[in-house]
């Protein structure tokens, strides 16, 4: 099975492994030559409106400007693309964002640090736990507090399962975008089982507000080890079925190989991270290269590609599901007993049972959830490896219970600027495959 190379978590990044696949027509010298002209359509909407020509009956040599979206053509959110076409070939393109305009960063500057988790969890709604984790890590840096070991292992468990559910969503939607409708059914089916476990732990399928400054909101329920083990036993053989259905399928390979090619140097220059960067052959993963939580205590491989095309990005996500399940298996054995949140009374509310027994505990609980806890002045940045790349949260505190500044380094936002380069000289039909392979979540783009 020819998919991707792997780099063990404890080793330096070698050159990316061969996938055994043809580089495709968009690779090599052709790609270099087309990079000599701009891939980005640098044209305002007013200038586009002044261009003459009949889009319904263009001449042989006439270029056409076409709007793709802002409805949902594989964009996994509200994204508009302005395409400059010669026939069905995309010469230049321009992503147009801002249709969601949620304003979550500004909203975060009017919420307490305890309330902040309810805000950021809605950015990348396909992997909400990573948003909560990055915000909590930045807040904990400012507070200077340590999180109990059990809470850290619980965070790892939930985030790796969230990575699995996010990549399963990609497998489902990417399949349907390219006409493999069965994959939509199968990917959704497995994802439902992961979300069912999340609901048992957090009370919600998505947007959990479970990972909070100081730990997590609640301990794992009784029988969680059995539930997680059954999830692993269910999903692992299904991944082999996905291989049979998609990986070696000739039509699937024709649609993805050599399509949407980007080199490692181009990906770095554009700030791309996650599967886009690893697909181009650079083995960069924050879990290994800048470890956080207890990732330096588990064994896993960093999956890399060779050609930087849509096929590599698909194969990387498929194999990252396997690696996440491998990490989860180790977490089951490593999970210690102990507290699931810090016992620092400035940050943590009293136990629920104490509220009925003590007026002081009731007042303490009331003040934490209404006024919040004060955070020492300073600034902090915390980054995690989300399913889409480096997700970072930058916080500035002025000493009050509300952040002075909240800024999010959203991977979907940064990765989106690769689209014009990936789509240049491709077909409109390839554009759908390319957008899907980038896997943007527009909730964190228009944050």
The pLDDT value given to residue 49: 64
Mean pLDDT of 352-371: 88
Q: What is the pLDDT of residue 48?
A: 66
Q: CA 311 to CA 422: how far, in whole Å?
A: 13
Taking the model in full, what pTM does it have?
Answer: 0.89
Residue 266 has pLDDT above 90, yes or no: yes
Greater pLDDT, 22 or 91: 91
Lowest mean pLDDT: which of 57-66, 229-238, 380-389? 57-66
Q: In the predicted model, what is the mean pLDDT of residues 434-441? A: 92
Mean pLDDT of 417-429: 93
Which pLDDT value is given to residue 35? 53
Across 55-59, 123-127, 249-253, least confident range: 55-59
Given a cut of 90, whether residue 443 has pLDDT beyond it is no
Query: What pLDDT score was predicted for residue 54?
Result: 56
pLDDT band at 36 (very low <50, low <70, confident <90, very high): low
pLDDT at position 31 over 80: no
Which whole number is the average pLDDT over 414-443?
92
pLDDT band at 351 (very low <50, low <70, confident <90, very high): confident
DSSP 40: B
* DSSP codes joined into one string, 89-108: EEEEEEEE--SS---HHHHH
Q: pLDDT confidence of 39, banded at 50, 70, 90? A: confident
Q: What is the mean pLDDT of residues 178-194?
A: 94
Write the burial class of residue 224 (CB in 10 Å: 0-12 exposed, 13-18 middle, 19+ buried).
Answer: middle
Confidence of residue 346 (pLDDT cuts 50, 70, 90): confident
Q: Is the pLDDT of residue 256 over 80?
A: yes
Residues 6+ apart with CB under 8 A from 153: 294, 331, 334, 335, 336
- pLDDT at residue 12 is higher than 70: no
Question: Is the pLDDT at 144 greater than 60, yes or no?
Answer: yes
And the tokens for 212?
A: 């909070």
Q: What is the pLDDT of residue 70?
A: 81
Per-residue pLDDT band for 50 (boundaries 50, 70, 90) equals: low
pLDDT band at 111 (very low <50, low <70, confident <90, very high): very high
Mean of the per-residue pLDDT values of the chain: 87
pLDDT band for position 219 (cuts 50, 70, 90): very high
- In this predicted structure, the answer to whether residue 78 has a pLDDT above a threshold of 90 is no
Give the length of the chain.
Answer: 447
Task: Return the pLDDT at 32.
Answer: 42
pLDDT class of 193 with cuts at 50, 70, 90: very high
Structure confidence at residue 307 as a pLDDT band (50, 70, 90): very high
Least confident piece of the model among 131-145, 155-169, 346-360: 346-360
What's the pLDDT at 69? 77
Q: Considering only 31-35, 58-62, 157-161, 430-434, which range has the smallest mean pLDDT?
A: 31-35
Beta strands (DSSP E) in 123-266 are 211-212, 215-216
- Locus of tokens 């943590």: 348
Q: Residue 77 has what pLDDT?
A: 67
Q: Are 311 and 253 in contact (CB under 8 A)?
A: yes
Q: What is the mean pLDDT of residues 51-59?
A: 55
pLDDT at 14 over 90: no
Checking DSSP bridges between strand 378-386 and strand 5-8, what pairing results, if any? Answer: unpaired
Across the range 289-308, mean pLDDT stands at: 95
Q: Which domains does the chain have, with CATH numbers?
A: 107-445 (1.10.645.10)
- Per DSSP bridges, beta strands 405-409 and 426-427 are unpaired
Contact 97, 82 (CB under 8 A): no
Residue 338 has pLDDT above 90, yes or no: yes
Q: Average of pLDDT values for 339-344?
A: 92
DSSP string, 387-399: TTEEEEEEEEE-S
Q: What's the pLDDT at 38?
A: 82
- For residue 52, pLDDT over 80 is answered with no
Query: Lowest-confidence range among 43-52, 271-280, 396-405?
Result: 43-52
Residue 167 has a pLDDT of 97
């Amino acid at each position: 099975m020819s998919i991707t190379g792997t780099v063990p978590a404890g080793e330096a990044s070698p050159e990316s492994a061969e996938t055994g696949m043809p580089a495709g027509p968009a690779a090599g010298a052709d790609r270099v030559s087309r990079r000599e002209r701009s891939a980005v359509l640098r044209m305002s909407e007013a200038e586009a409106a002044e261009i003459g020509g009949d889009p319904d009956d263009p001449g042989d040599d006439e270029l056409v400007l076409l709007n793709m979206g802002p409805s949902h053509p594989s964009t996994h959110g509200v994204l508009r693309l302005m395409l400059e076409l010669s026939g069905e070939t995309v010469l230049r393109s321009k992503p147009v964002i801002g249709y969601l305009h949620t304003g979550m960063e500004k909203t975060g500057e009017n919420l307490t640090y305890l309330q902040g988790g309810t805000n950021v969890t809605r950015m990348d709604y396909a992997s909400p736990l990573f948003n909560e984790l990055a915000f909590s890590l930045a807040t904990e840096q400012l507070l200077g507090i340590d999180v109990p070991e059990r809470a850290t292992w619980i965070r790892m468990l939930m985030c790796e399962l969230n990575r699995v559910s996010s990549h399963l969503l990609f497998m489902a939607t990417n399949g349907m975008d390219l006409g493999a409708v069965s994959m939509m059914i199968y990917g959704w089916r497995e994802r439902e089982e992961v979300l069912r476990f999340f609901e048992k732990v957090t009370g919600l399928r998505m947007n959990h507000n479970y990972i909070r400054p100081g730990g997590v909101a609640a301990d794992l329920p009784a029988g969680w080890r059995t539930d997680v083990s059954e999830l692993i036993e269910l999903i692992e053989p299904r991944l082999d079925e996905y291989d049979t259905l998609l990986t070696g399928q000739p039509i699937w390979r024709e649609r993805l190989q050599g399509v949407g090619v980007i080199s490692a140097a181009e990906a770095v220059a554009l700030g791309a991270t996650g599967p886009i960067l690893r697909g181009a052959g650079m083995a960069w993963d924050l879990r290994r290269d800048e470890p956080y939580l207890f990732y330096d205590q588990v064994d896993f491989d960093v999956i890399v590609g060779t050609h930087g095309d849509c096929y590599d990005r698909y194969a990387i996500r498929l194999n990252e599901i396997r690696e996440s399940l491998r990490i989860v298996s180790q977490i089951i054995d490593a999970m210690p007993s102990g507290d699931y949140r810090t016992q620092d009374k400035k940050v943590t509310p009293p136990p629920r049972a104490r509220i009925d027994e003590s007026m002081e505990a009731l007042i303490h609980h009331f003040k934490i959830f209404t006024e919040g806890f004060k955070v020492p002045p300073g600034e902090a940045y915390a980054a995690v490896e989300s399913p889409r790349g480096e997700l970072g949260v930058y916080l500035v505190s002025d000493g009050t219970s509300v952040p002075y500044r909240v800024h999010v380094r959203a991977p979907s936002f940064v990765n989106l600027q690769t689209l014009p380069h990936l789509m240049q000289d491709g077909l409109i039909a390839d554009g759908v495959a390319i957008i899907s392979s980038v896997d943007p979540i527009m909730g964190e783009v228009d944050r």
